[in-house]
Structure 1
Amino acid sequence: MASILVNSRSATINKCSLLIEHFCTPLLTRFKATSAKQTPAEYCLDLVRKYDYENYLCALLLPNTVRSAALAIRAFNIEVARVEEQASDTTIGKMRLKFWEDTVDKIYNDTPPRNPVALELHRIVRKHKLSKHYLKRLIVARSEKLTLSVFPSLESLEAYAENTASPVYYLLLEASDIKHVRVDHAASHLGKAHGITNLIRSILYNAQRRSIVIPQDIMMKHNLSTEEVLRGKSRKEIGDAVFDVSSRAKLHLEKARSLRNDVPKKASAIFLPAITIDFYLERLRRVDFDIYHPSLQHRSALLPIILFWKKLRSLPY
């Protein structure tokens, strides 16, 4: 019976996701290679679909003029973000990040390496005149994290979230030719909310790698030891700590939403990930911030429907 329910849920999710992909058929058709060889654009699309599915759905719902830019930027961010989990030690991680730092320099010198993400990002950078320092900021933040064993405070986690998520939104706004300080302000808060939420979602994965992402000041507040988090003990106290961290994400999300009147209509779709953030935080609240709860370990069939409906009805994020 359980397997039937799981299969039914998976089928529902697939149908909802396919609805969005069908809606964006012109994009997917353009991305298909004309030969057996995969194009850089198609490679980026597949990379985002595999490793960042929620943002993949959001990217498909963007206007035609910015979709390919979103997929290239997010593919680059995935490559940089995955360095930490792929590297066996700090030295190797630093070397891989140095490769991407050099790659960005080569992109802006019009000599990108024969890497599909680099080639597609080069095309996007030339087309939209994207700022180099935002791409570099994503790399620097990940590089600093390699040598940072823990987050000493909630503020340090918040700063990391800002540096690993907000630049993506700044780049998407540039790709949409939108330059306004209040829109950037909204993007900054959304990036912080997104980055903090990503870290919450990674707590269990990082614990398996014997890494702690719950800030030390929050752990001290709730008398949590490192071993308790790594072994999944004291689940109530861990839930209390997760509540504190998620409250900060919710605060930034609400601030971003309070500024939505400053966001022009053509940029509203860029802020669609606010829906995915709010959706996860609400699911987390309903299980009393128990990150071990089984309902949080799988995709929701409702999210693609909500995203599609928001886009279709041009509803605010």
Structure 2
Amino acid sequence: MSQAYNYCNDFVKRFSYERYLSTLYAPITARPSLIALYAFACEIARIRELVNEPMPGEIRLQWWHDALSGTDHGDVMHNPVAQAIIETIEHHKLPREPFLNLISARRFDLYSDPMPTVNDLEGYCGETSSALVLLASMILSGKPADRQISDACGHGGVAYAMSGLMQTLAWQASRQQQFIPKEVLERHDVDPSALKGNRSDDGVWAVFEEMVELSRKHLDDCEEALEGIDKSVLPAFLPVFQVELFFNEADKDSFEPLQVCGGAPHIRRMWHMWRTSRRLARLSRK
């Protein structure tokens, strides 16, 4: 691994442990490219946390857009994540459009606009999460995704992103963000301010349960699409099924949606991913 890929490896291990774990199930030749992809995703996702107002975030996103579009800033190759992802794109001849769409979708993170509808949320999750599963599949298979893989990636990415959002409701509210669709809040007569509390009332619980059920539905559709799939792409889906650990926690009587869910211990994630790898392997043989 070059110095840039070593940096990316440590970066992903710190900020997206389940994705880091999944690369250990991939062929050793594909791991640096997967790590670069996931480091890029982490870098873009963290921009909202690194800025105090939208304009600096817009500037950072534009820098990344220009860098991946081929606009020469002169300092692109001094950024280890940029260096690694550009080399990965060129090596695997990956389409640049999904990367640029992801960057554009992340502009929503910088503002306090409410997510209007479920369809809008699914579109956001598709561009920020499903696209990564798809690109990882292309890296692993060495070819464009067919319809079956695309469907599995679409549903899997939405399930992954949506469940992640459900784990951080109060944190989002504290940052004046509203990823729960406005139409869902209105359907259950919930004011957005209710998400800033410490305890969920009946309305918040109804909203939470509806959104978790939608995430489960996407995960079920992803699993169904994986039957008979090319086994080479399976490592791309291993992070997706880590959401089952969150579903298990959400089913407990003691669970509180407005408390940030810290996630399962590392050893439990490792065990679950190993079991998932075997389950998906059996699916691919059907």
- Assess same fold via TM > 0.5: yes
Structure 1 position 126, deviation (Å): 2.1
Equivalent position of 1:19 in the other structure: none
Equivalent position of 2:174 in the other structure: 208
- Aligned match of 2:214 in 248, 251, 254? 248
Equivalent position of 1:84 in the other structure: 48
- Aligned match of 2:184 in 202, 213, 218? 218
Instruction: After superposition, give the CA deviation of every residue in 1:288-311 in whole Å (9 maximum; x if it has no partner).
Output: 7632468x3342342211212443
Q: Do the aligned residues in 2 keep the contact of 1:235 with 1:290 (CA within 8 Å)?
A: no
- Aligned match of 2:5 in 22, 30, 41? 41
Task: Give, in whole Å, the separation in 2 of the partners of 1:107 and 1:168.
Answer: 23
Task: Give, in whole Å, the separation in 2 of the partners of 1:310 and 1:167.
Answer: 21
Query: Residue type matched to 1:230 in 2?
Result: K
- Aligned match of 1:299 in 264, 272, 285? 264
Query: Residue type matched to 1:244 in 2?
Result: E
The structure-2 alpha-carbon separation of the partners of 1:109 and 1:233, relative to structure 1 and needing over 3 Å to count, comes to: closer
Structure 1 position 212, deviation (Å): 2.4
Equivalent position of 2:251 in the other structure: 285
Instruction: After superposition, give the CA deviation of every residue in 1:70-107 in whole Å (9 maximum; x if it has no partner).
Output: 11011101111111222211111111100111111238
The structure-2 alpha-carbon separation of the partners of 1:310 and 1:117, relative to structure 1 and needing over 3 Å to count, comes to: same
Structure 1 position 225, deviation (Å): 1.4
Task: Give, in whole Å, the separation in 2 of the partners of 1:154 and 1:70.
Answer: 30
Equivalent position of 1:93 in the other structure: 57
The structure-2 alpha-carbon separation of the partners of 1:311 and 1:108, relative to structure 1 and needing over 3 Å to count, comes to: farther
Equivalent position of 1:7 in the other structure: none
**Match status 1:143 vs 2:98:** no
**Match status 1:51 vs 2:15:** yes
Q: Do the aligned residues in 1 keep the contact of 2:170 with 2:197 (CA within 8 Å)?
A: no
Q: Do the aligned residues in 1 keep the contact of 2:199 with 2:258 (CA within 8 Å)?
A: no
Equivalent position of 2:87 in the other structure: 123
Task: Give, in whole Å, the separation in 1 of the partners of 2:255 and 2:196.
Answer: 17
Query: Residue type matched to 1:299 in 2?
Result: A
Equivalent position of 2:66 in the other structure: 102
Task: Give, in whole Å, the separation in 2 of the partners of 1:209 and 1:202.
Answer: 11
Q: Do the aligned residues in 2 keep the contact of 1:166 with 1:187 (CA within 8 Å)?
A: yes
Task: Give, in whole Å, the separation in 2 of the partners of 1:91 and 1:117.
Answer: 22
Equivalent position of 1:166 in the other structure: 130
Task: Give, in whole Å, the separation in 1 of the partners of 2:71 and 2:247.
Answer: 37
TM-score (norm. length: structure 1): 0.80
RMSD of equivalent CA atoms: 2.5
Structure 1 position 221, deviation (Å): 2.1
Q: Do the aligned residues in 2 keep the contact of 1:107 with 1:118 (CA within 8 Å)?
A: no
Equivalent position of 2:204 in the other structure: 238
Task: Give, in whole Å, the separation in 1 of the partners of 2:283 and 2:240.
Answer: 10
Structure 1 position 191, deviation (Å): 1.0
- Structure with bigger gyration radius: 1
Query: Residue type matched to 2:65 in 1?
Result: E
State the number of aligned residues.
280
Query: Residue type matched to 1:82 in 2?
Result: R
Query: Residue type matched to 1:135 in 2?
Result: F
Instruction: After superposition, give the CA deviation of every residue in 1:158-210 in whole Å (9 maximum; x if it has no partner).
Output: 11111110110121122121431211111111111112112112212212223
Query: Residue type matched to 2:262 in 1?
Result: Q
Could you tell me which runs of 5 or more consecutive residues in structure 2 were left unpaired when the two chains were aligned.
none
- Aligned match of 2:155 in 189, 198, 221? 189
The structure-2 alpha-carbon separation of the partners of 1:115 and 1:224, relative to structure 1 and needing over 3 Å to count, comes to: same
Could you tell me which runs of 5 or more consecutive residues in structure 1 were left unpaired when the two chains were aligned.
1-30, 34-38
The structure-2 alpha-carbon separation of the partners of 1:227 and 1:186, relative to structure 1 and needing over 3 Å to count, comes to: same
**Match status 1:63 vs 2:27:** yes
Task: Give, in whole Å, the separation in 2 of the partners of 1:124 and 1:110.
Answer: 19
TM-score (norm. length: structure 2): 0.88
Task: Give, in whole Å, the separation in 2 of the partners of 1:95 and 1:242.
Answer: 34
For residues 261-280 of structure 1, the aligned pairs below 5 Å read 261-280=227-246
Q: Do the aligned residues in 2 keep the contact of 1:243 with 1:289 (CA within 8 Å)?
A: no
Q: Do the aligned residues in 1 keep the contact of 2:114 with 2:178 (CA within 8 Å)?
A: yes
